[in-house]
Amino acid sequence: MPTRHGKSAVFMIPPMVTARTVIVVVPLTILVSGHEADASRAGLRNATYGTDTITLDDPPSILFVSVECAATPRFVELAHTLNHLQKLHCVVVDEAHLLLSDFKPVMKCLLPLWAVGCQLVALTASLSPYQETDLKIVMSTTFTVIRMSTVRPLIEYVVDEVADVDDEIIRQLIEWDCDVSSKMDRAMVYCLTRQSVERMASVVNNVAGVKTAHLHAHLDEDAKKAQLQSWLSGEARVMVATEVIGCGYNYPSVRLVIHRGSFRSLVALHQESGRLARDGRPGISRVISSAKSRAEALHIDSSFVEPNAWIVDMENC
């Protein structure tokens, strides 16, 4: 299902009518606060495993859990107990396409959770039809597919072939910052590595003079929250990041997304561009590339593990 077409409703409606808990496995911890806010606005009592106290007598309507915690025997035991007590409605995995990527290897260790015995729901806007069989293998189950068009007509896609990628990004951001029409508008720059993120954020801050936040997986949780809050509040209007904030995060007024040099896959391009235009206003996704940046991307990609190489390799789980 595409952005803004009700994926979150899939896990928020059942507890309203069944009075049973829905477990939502969230692949990126940065997404949890947004889900919590949405659930609270809907009047649903929710909790996050590892942060809030969970009681079997009165479990929350929605229980959010990180992938890392969901893979632990202790959490699997909790899910089994809730199901045995008939207090568990289903287990939902958000951004399920990540089960087929190497971005979160721990996701391949969720097989014990899939075996709890309740209904499983996989949500994503980025699973192509040919990947459905691979997902069934990873989840060790069969499922009914409900598919909608994921076309986003408000997003304009542009590819710029340039001599110097960083110079062009600076030019684009200065131009965007001068022309921005609302104090709520934001821009994002995606880079393939954390080193590129830190270097690009420094360049945009110091050369372009545009206040910039940055995010990557190697920042600690407090630093991530501080950087994200800086961007959300408007103190920094540009976010430079890796794919750590590439999917699922919902800030409505992103007007410009720039992919520095390249992107990891068409799925990544689709997800990262999907941050745009969530408020119903147009946005632009630009890939700013050069021969040098593409060569750098190929060097990075050579170390990646192809998903199919570990789909059937579950011994370490």
| Domain segments of the chain as ranges | 7-139, 155-301
Mean pLDDT, residues 118-124: 87
In this prediction the pTM is: 0.73
Please give the C-alpha separations between residue 183 and each of 177, 180, 208, 240, 283, in angstroms, as whole numbers.
Answer: 10, 8, 18, 18, 15
Lowest mean pLDDT among 45-49, 171-175, 180-184: 180-184
pLDDT digits (tens, 9 = 90+) for 30-72: 777 778 888 888 888 999 998 888 888 899 999 999 888 888 9
The pLDDT score that the predictor gives to residue 317 is: 37
The pLDDT score that the predictor gives to residue 280 is: 84
- With vertex at residue 315, the alpha carbon angle to CA 311 and CA 317, rounded to the nearest 5 degrees, is 85
Query: In percent, how much of the chain has pLDDT > 90?
Result: 20
As a dihedral over the C-alpha atoms of residue 247, residue 249, residue 255, residue 260, rounded to 10 degrees, the angle is -40
Reply yes or no on whether the pLDDT at 306 is more than 50: no
Sequence-distant contacts of 178-184: CB under 8 A, at least 24 apart: 180/237, 180/255, 182/253, 183/234, 184/234, 184/252, 184/253
Spatial separation of the C-alpha atoms in residues 272 and 66, rounded to whole Å: 21
Architecture per CATH, domain 155-301, reads as 3-Layer(aba) Sandwich (3.40)
Contact 267, 126 (CB under 8 A): yes
pLDDT digits (tens, 9 = 90+) for 186-215: 999 998 888 889 999 998 888 878 889 998
Spatial separation of the C-alpha atoms in residues 241 and 221, rounded to whole Å: 15
Which backbone phi and psi does 261 adopt, to 5 degrees? 85, -55
Q: How confident is the model at residue 9 (pLDDT cuts 50, 70, 90)?
A: confident
Same fold, 7-139 and 155-301: yes
Q: How confident is the model at residue 4 (pLDDT cuts 50, 70, 90)?
A: low
The pLDDT score that the predictor gives to residue 309 is: 36
Q: How confident is the model at residue 147 (pLDDT cuts 50, 70, 90)?
A: confident
pLDDT digits (tens, 9 = 90+) for 235-249: 999 999 887 776 666
CA 301 to chain centre: 20
The tally of CA atoms less than 13 A away on the side-chain side of residue 149 is 3
Q: Give the β-pairing of 254-260 and 283-289.
A: parallel
The pLDDT score that the predictor gives to residue 138 is: 79
Reply yes or no on whether the pLDDT at 231 is more than 80: yes
CATH superfamily of 7-139: P-loop containing nucleotide triphosphate hydrolases (3.40.50.300)
- With vertex at residue 149, the alpha carbon angle to CA 134 and CA 155, rounded to the nearest 5 degrees, is 110
The label of the residue with tokens 């009047």 reads 43
CA 30 to chain centre: 8
At position 190, the amino acid (one-letter code) is Y
The pLDDT score that the predictor gives to residue 1 is: 61
Please give the C-alpha separations between residue 191 and each of 119, 196, 257, 297, 303, in angstroms, as whole numbers.
Answer: 37, 6, 11, 10, 16
Length of the chain: 317
Give the SS3 label for residue 21: strand
The pLDDT score that the predictor gives to residue 255 is: 92
First to last CA, the chain: 30
